[in-house]
Structure formats: structure tokens, C-alpha cells
Amino acid sequence: MLVVLGLWWTLTSGCGLIDPNRFPDPAETWAALQQILTPGYAGGTLVQQAWASTRLVLLGFAVAVTTGVPLGALMGLSRRAESLLNPAFLLLRPIPPLAWIPLAVVWLGLGDGAKILVIWIAAFVPCVINTWTGVRGADLTLVAAARVHGADPVRVLLEVILPGALPMIFTGLRLSLQACWTTLVAAELVGTLYGLGRVLDSAYRDVNPAMILVAMVTVGLLGAATTRLIAALERGLTPWQV
Amino acid sequence: MAGLKRRPGRYESWGLSLLGLGLFLGVWQVLAVGMTAGPQVLPAPLAVIETTRHLLVAPFAGHTLLGHLAASLQRFGLGFGLAALVGVPLGLAMGRFGWLDDLVTPLFEALRFVAPLAWVPFAVLWFGTGIGGPVMVIFAGAFPPCLVNAYRGARQVEARLVEAAQTLGAGPLRIIVEVLLPGALPAIVAGLRVAAGLAWQSLIGAELIVAGAGLGFVMVQAQSSLSPQIVMAAMAAVGLVGMLIDIALRRAEWAIRRQWDQLA
């Protein structure tokens, strides 16, 4: 950590090896951080901008989980549903989520709706696929045992199949969360009024590398924090896993 | 559980698949024709196909669809190739030398969570909007899986083999090239496939934001001229090419894995 800071200072302000218009030195970055924390930048303080972005990620992610996991479970349980739904899914899957941004903007404008749509698309596919794989991999002996003991299908689903699929589902959630952040940043760079993408865009237009760096670090920290959150949730919900 | 084991017959399954496809396209067509907002919002599937054929011959935003595709593929090839050329050797070397591992890992862990697209402003500031900027963004997307898989692959190579090579007097470079690289090849190819997917995705993102040509640029231009049928045509092209890249690398991965299993 100290080595990196020292190296950073030496390369930028110490011997002026790197042009300050290309990469900021530590003092400038500190000043930029101060600036965005108290007066704000690009229409809001850091906390407001970060919250605007995090809120969209969480909303889109929540919508994707509530739609993707049931659909994946349905496709895992019923081969008929799989045959029926798979073609449309296969057709849409190769299109990268980012490629939906222009269409989302045409449909829903530059507000929150378009972003939530794009984030939903980004997170939906991994949710469906992993739930589907997890449910399909259910231990048939356990399922049969539960049936023999008189459990009805709903109980079998809720108490045997879903817990068995949970680790797989969580892998999907982690993958999709990362995709959510990438997609959100792209969507906000294409056009938005608030959020970290907006900060990045304004800083780029003002040729303010220090502010770019602050925004990038914030995006990275938020991505890491939400991933930690998912990991904690996974440990809480699947205590039998070590 | 009976419900899990009972498979629909082959014909039933094919029929359902066709029905699903038909339903998907049918609902799309009905929505497109029936909505009062008209083709400005949701163009019909047939209109999209027609537009795609039109774009193949008539230039839009400077080039034909194939011209834009060539521009995109060039950036993709450069960024992906660079990521593989830097990431794979670095990953292998990290798997061999502990000090390099200790040096690079903290930096890498810190950078990993920064979304590749967040590099766009710096990429443009450093390398401009032409080839360099987008290539750097693609590099940022494709580099981590290249490095991580080469590293994991190198760590999984049996220590016995490395020691044997050392005893026989092989230098560090020779060990990396002749022992670690072949041993880690299946893991590396798997990483390259993931990297190609991420690179293609980052490319589209970078082109949406900064570029003067390419499929992403077509989408943004079409978006600002409110022609969703062109957006959809470009989306179809992006999806198709991405799928072809994935299939090619999947084949390569499969072939290498089979050969390695035979040798083992």
C-alpha cells in the first residue's frame, strides 16, 4: 500500500515523469475527493451520486432475481417449459447486455427506467441459467425420499430442490452482480442526469483526471462491497456449506 | 420424482420448441403491428430483417454493415490479442515465481472490481478515440480472465514435473515454456473463451461511448435518429458474431481438452 502510494507520488509530482493532464498526482486526487464530498460535482455530492448508482443496481438486480430465479426453476423442473422457452432464450442470449442500451434509451428515455431495464437484462441471464442448472442437478434420491414420506410437490420444491440449488443460484447472483455494475456504468456514460457514470463523463469532458480517478475508485469499491454483501448472504442462507 | 424423470418425447419436444419460437416471433409481430406508437418504438421482425439486408449494401453512418463489422473486429482482435499476449505469460510467471505473485496480486485485486467500461474516460484521455482508446477498454475487459486462468493452470501443474525439469538443468524460461505452458493449456484456453466474451461486450460498450465506426457506433447513431429497426439489426449482428466467436473457441477448448486427456 505504502509502496504504491510512494511510487504514485514519485512518478507524478516527484519527478514529473507522467503528464498531470494524463494521470493525477495524489494531492490533486485528494483535492478532487474534497471537492466532490462537500460542494459536489456534476450535480451532486459523492454520496448522492454513489447512492443514485447503487439504488439502480440494487433495483435492477432485485427485479432480475425475482423474475430469473422462478423462470430458471420452472425450466429446470419441467422439460416442457424448457422446450417451450429455450428457443427465445437462445436467440436473445448471445446479445451482450450493453447492446440493449440504445434500444432501452429509444424506448424509455434517459431516466431510471432504461437503466433498470438494461441492468435487468444483464442480471437475468445468469440468474436463469444457474437456477436451471442447480434445479436440474437436484439429488433425485432425496426427492424420492421426500415423496415417500408424503411431502407434496410444493414442499418438495421449497424444502428439497431449492436448498439444493442454492449454491449454484448464488454463483449466478455473484456473476450477475458484476455484470450489473459494468452495465450500469456503460448506461450512465451513454446518458444520464445523476450517478457515477455522469461524474465520469463530466470529469472526462472537463479533462479532470483526478475526478475520473475518484469516480473509478468509488465504482470499484461499491462493486467489491456489493459482492461482499452477496457472499455474506450466501453464508447466512447456506450454513451447511463450509 | 415422476415430474423430473418424465421426458416429453422427441417430437413433442421439437414441437414445443417450434411453438415457443413461433410464439416469441408472433407476439413480437403482433405487438409491433398492433401498437399505436408504430415502428418508431418496436419494429416488426420482418422489418428488422429487411433493414439488415438493406444495411448490407447501403452505407449507414459512413460504412455498410460489413464495414462497421470489420472496424469492430479489428479493435476486438487487437485488444483481445494484447490481453492474451500480456495476461497469459504474466499469469504463468506468477504461478512460477512467488515474489511476482506477491507483487502483482494486491494491485490486481484492487483493479479487478473496477468495471472495464469505467476505464473509458482514461482510455480516451491517454489513447484517443480512434483505435487506441477502445482497444484499451477491451484489454481491461479481457485481461483478468487471461491472467487468472493461466495462473491457476500453472499452479495445478504437478510440482514433480517442475522439479524433474529443474534437476535436468532447465532454466526458468524453459520451465515456463516447456512445462507450465503445456500443462496449463486447457485452463488457458478456457480463460481465453471467457475473455473473448468479455472483450466483445466491452468493445460494444466502448463503441457506444466513443468511436467513429463499428457496430456500437451504428447503434448510437440509429438511437439518436430514432430508428430502432437499425438498432435491432446491429444488435442481431453483434449477437451473431459474438456467438460465432464463442463457438470457435469452444471447439478449440474441446479439441485441446480431448487431446490432453488422451495424453494423460
Q: Please write the tens of the pLDDT for every residue from B41-56.
A: 677 777 788 888 888 8
List, as ranges, residues 107-136 from B with C-beta within 8 Å of A. Answer: 107, 110-111, 113-122, 124-126
pLDDT of B15-72, one tens digit each? 888 888 888 888 877 777 776 555 566 777 777 888 888 888 777 777 888 888 888 8
Question: Is there a domain that residue A115 lies in?
Answer: yes
pLDDT in tens, B121-141: 888 888 877 778 888 889 988
* Beta-carbon separation of A220 and B226 below 8 A: no
- Chain B residue nearest residue A224, CA to CA: B113
User: What pLDDT is attached to residue B83?
Assistant: 93
Per the CB < 8 A criterion, the answer to whether A134 and A106 are in contact is: no
How many residues are recorded in chain A? 242
Query: Would A241 be classed as within a structural domain?
Result: no
Q: Tens digits of per-residue pLDDT, B193-208?
A: 889 988 998 888 888 8
pLDDT of residue B4: 47
d(CA A130, CA B199): 22
Quick check: A181 and B115 CB within 8 A?
Answer: yes
Average pLDDT on B204-214 reads 81
With a CB cutoff of 8 Å and minimum separation 6, the contacts of A170 are: A230, A233, A234, A237, A238
Q: Identify which of B8, B200, B222 has the shortest CB distance to residue A102.
A: B222
* pLDDT score at A242: 53
- Cβ <8 Å between A99 and B239: yes
User: Looking at the complex, does the CB of residue A72 fall below 8 Å from at least one CB of chain B?
Assistant: no
Q: Give B49-263's CATH code, choosing from 2.60.40.1150, 1.10.3720.10, 3.40.1280.10, 1.10.10.10.
A: 1.10.3720.10
C-alpha count within 13 angstroms, C-beta hemisphere, residue B137: 34
Say if CB B161 and CB B179 are below 8 A apart: yes
Mean pLDDT for the stretch of residues B235-258: 87
Interface of A with B in 101-130 (CB under 8 A): 101-103, 105-107
pLDDT of residue B84: 93
Range of the domain at A142: 43-235
A158 falls in which pLDDT band (50, 70, 90)?
confident
Are B223 and A209 within 8 A, CB to CB?
A: no
A80 touches chain B (CB under 8 A): yes
- Give the model's confidence band at A13: pLDDT under 50 very low, under 70 low, under 90 confident, else very high: low
A32–chain B Cβ distance below 8 A for any pair:
no
Look at residue B1 in the predicted model and tell me its pLDDT: 41
Residue A5 lies in a domain: no
All three cell numbers of A106, joined, read 429509444
* In the predicted structure, residue A100 carries a pLDDT above the cut 80: yes
Query: Does residue A2 belong to any structural domain of this protein?
Result: no
Cβ-Cβ contacts under 8 Å for B78 (sequence gap 6 or more)? B131, B135, B138
Long-range CB pairs of B164-168 (<8 Å, 24+ gap) are none
Alpha helices by DSSP H, A109-208: 112-136, 140-148, 153-156, 162-190, 196-205
Tens digits of residue pLDDT in B149-186: 899 888 888 888 888 888 888 888 888 888 888 888 88
Instruction: Flag if A219 and B220 touch (Cβ within 8 Å).
Output: no
Asked, for residue A78, whether it belongs to a domain, the answer is yes
Question: Which grid cell sits at B132?
Answer: 487506441
The answer to whether residue A21 sits within a structural domain is: no
* pLDDT on residue A177: 85
Which domain CATH number covers A84?
1.10.3720.10
Residues on chain B touching A162 (C-beta within 8 angstroms): none
| Choice between A210 and B76, residue whose per-residue pLDDT is larger | B76
Residue A145, pLDDT above cutoff 70 = yes
Q: Does residue A116 fall inside a structural domain?
A: yes
Count of structural domains within chain A: 1
Name the average pLDDT for chain A. Answer: 80
What cell was used for B3?
A: 415430474
| pLDDT at residue A11, as a whole number | 65
For A60-78, what is each residue's pLDDT tens digit?
Answer: 889 988 998 888 888 888 8
* Mean pLDDT (whole number) for A87-110: 81
The reply to whether A33 falls in a domain is no
Count of Cβ atoms closer than 10 Å to residue A233 Cβ:
12
Q: Give the mean pLDDT of A90-100.
A: 81
- Report the pLDDT value the prediction gives residue B32, as an integer from 0 to 100: 74
Amino acid at A98: L
Per-residue pLDDT at B40: 65
